[in-house]
């Protein structure tokens, strides 16, 4: 028995740390000192001479099993050695023997789960880890086992199942940092913002002792939850201190300038309702955001009766003998009609301008701004396919234009394709915008997310959830 006791003690002391990852907050367990009494058997003397050689330890376990085939600890120790010696099949066999003798052996299930995971048998690994967590008494080890299962469910887009499991863990380990983080993240995913902010607040004193780059992901979940709860004054200082690395982009998307930029983009494409929605959000975040107030004032002037203004502008154009200046007046008239929401009138004016150039739009090579206005007018009156055709015609000519103009054509193409219910083409167009350095990239990203939701695609887990 003394030989068995010594071997089991040393195998756990020497190799168990390499078998199962332990949560960062788990307190290290100091091994008991080896038996100070001198070895009294030849087997003990041989074991002492072996040092840390796993193959010798394996032989000792095999001797124990030969003496007593029902020795659970010996089978488990043998499985540990075989795992370290990269003999997974033999290790699994030994684990089966240990589990046969003791069906509630948490360590055996955990090691088998690890082997299944390393051999890419994740379904089997999840079953093993579930059984390990069921029989494990140590809360921190339960957390480790459940974490694998949760991440697997997230990757499989089984978000509700993952949330249910993280809630179970949170109920027993609310101050575990990883548990609190995942609970907050999943709560935010399911719009349970109050729960999310509470979970991070509970561990906030510990976070203040961490390096900011290490604690940033926790603060982001807290800031995001407060933002969604419209507690902007609380969210702002939290989010401002993590504007670095991968979090900068995320934090920017929760700011007044971000929503103002979206509003400006949609205003350019005469989607006033969408623009006003984003302006309202910008002002909820920062009620003193001047640019948002100015754009709101601009939009309030749209869709007014400008018939008298148009009449005077037409008289000025008709009395202009210089063809170039006359064309400039037509462009102003078309733009004014566009601002007033008279898209048919704007398109007619632009067509009149084309006649002055003695040719159709495709042959006359008008300037990009005029071409864009014609495509926009087509889109606004519902001629989506015509708008797409004219945009493609422009793009095919590869006329040198600034990135902002090129991006606008692609974005308009995406809107028109969406209007024509060609979602594949719309996604392609919006993705083209993302490749161009332009301020409307944010709006293109919003559109792509919306298109994904239309196709019932789940949001993927963030990198920081790995």
Rounding to the nearest 10 degrees, give the CA dihedral for residues 281, 286, 288, 290.
-60
How far is 398 from 260, CA to CA, in rounded Å? 31
At 243 the three-state DSSP class reads: coil
Nearest alpha-carbon partner for 253 in 239, 271, 241, 272: 239
Task: Report the 10 Å Cβ neighbour count for 29.
Answer: 12
**pLDDT tens digits for the chain (466 residues)?**
444 444 444 433 333 333 333 333 333 333 333 333 433 333 343 344 445 578 888 888 899 899 899 999 999 999 999 999 999 999 999 999 999 999 999 999 999 999 999 999 999 999 999 999 999 998 889 888 988 998 899 888 899 999 999 998 899 899 999 899 999 999 999 999 999 999 999 999 999 999 999 999 999 999 999 999 999 999 999 999 998 888 999 999 999 999 999 999 999 999 999 999 999 999 999 999 999 999 999 898 887 787 888 888 888 888 878 777 877 888 888 888 888 888 888 888 888 877 766 544 344 455 788 889 989 999 999 999 999 999 999 999 888 889 999 999 999 999 999 999 999 999 999 999 999 988 899 999 999 999 885 443 334 334 443 4
pTM comes to 0.71
């Amino acid at each position: 028995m003394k030989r068995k006791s010594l071997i089991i003690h040393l195998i756990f002391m020497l190799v168990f740390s390499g078998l199962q990852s332990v949560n960062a907050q788990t307190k290290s367990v100091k091994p008991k000192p080896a038996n100070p009494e001198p070895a009294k058997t030849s087997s003990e003397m041989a074991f002492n001479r072996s040092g840390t050689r796993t193959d010798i330890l394996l032989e000792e376990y095999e001797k124990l099993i030969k003496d007593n085939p029902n020795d659970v600890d010996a089978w488990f120790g043998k499985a540990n050695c075989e795992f370290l010696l990269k003999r997974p099949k033999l290790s699994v066999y030994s684990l089966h023997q240990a589990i046969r003798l003791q069906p509630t052996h948490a360590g055996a299930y955990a090691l088998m789960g690890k082997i299944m995971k390393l051999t890419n048998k994740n379904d089997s690994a999840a079953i093993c880890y579930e059984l390990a967590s069921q029989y494990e008494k140590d809360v921190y080890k339960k957390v480790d086992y459940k974490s694998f299962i949760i991440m697997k469910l997230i990757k499989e887009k089984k978000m509700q199942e993952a949330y249910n499991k993280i809630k179970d863990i949170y109920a027993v380990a609310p101050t575990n940092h990883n548990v609190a983080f995942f609970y907050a993240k999943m709560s935010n995913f399911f719009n349970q913002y109050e729960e999310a902010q509470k979970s991070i607040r509970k561990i906030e004193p510990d976070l203040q002792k961490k390096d900011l780059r290490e604690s940033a992901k926790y603060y982001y979940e807290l800031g995001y939850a407060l933002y969604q709860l419209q507690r902007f004054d609380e969210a702002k200082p939290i989010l401002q201190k993590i504007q670095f690395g991968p979090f900068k982009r995320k934090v920017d998307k929760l700011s007044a300038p971000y929503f103002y930029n979206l509003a400006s983009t949609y205003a350019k494409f005469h989607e006033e309702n969408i623009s006003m929605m984003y302006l309202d959000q910008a002002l909820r975040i920062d009620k003193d955001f001047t640019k948002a107030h100015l754009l709101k004032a601009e939009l309030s002037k749209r869709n007014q009766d400008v018939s008298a203004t148009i009449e005077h502008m037409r008289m000025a154009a008709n009395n202009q003998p210089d063809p170039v200046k006359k064309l400039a007046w037509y462009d102003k008239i078309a733009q004014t009609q566009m601002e007033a929401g008279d898209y048919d009138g704007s398109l007619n004016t632009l067509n009149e301008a084309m006649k002055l150039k003695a040719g159709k739009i495709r042959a006359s090579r008008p300037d990009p701004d005029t071409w864009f206005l014609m495509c926009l007018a087509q889109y606004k009156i519902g001629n989506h396919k015509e708008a797409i055709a004219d945009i493609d015609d422009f793009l095919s000519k590869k006329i040198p234009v600034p990135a902002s103009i090129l991006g606008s054509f692609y974005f308009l193409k995406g809107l028109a394709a969406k209007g024509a219910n060609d979602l594949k083409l719309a996604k392609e167009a919006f993705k083209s915008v993302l490749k161009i350095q332009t301020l409307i990239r944010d709006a293109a990203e919003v559109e792509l997310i919306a298109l994904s939701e239309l196709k019932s695609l789940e949001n993927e887990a963030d990198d920081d959830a790995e």
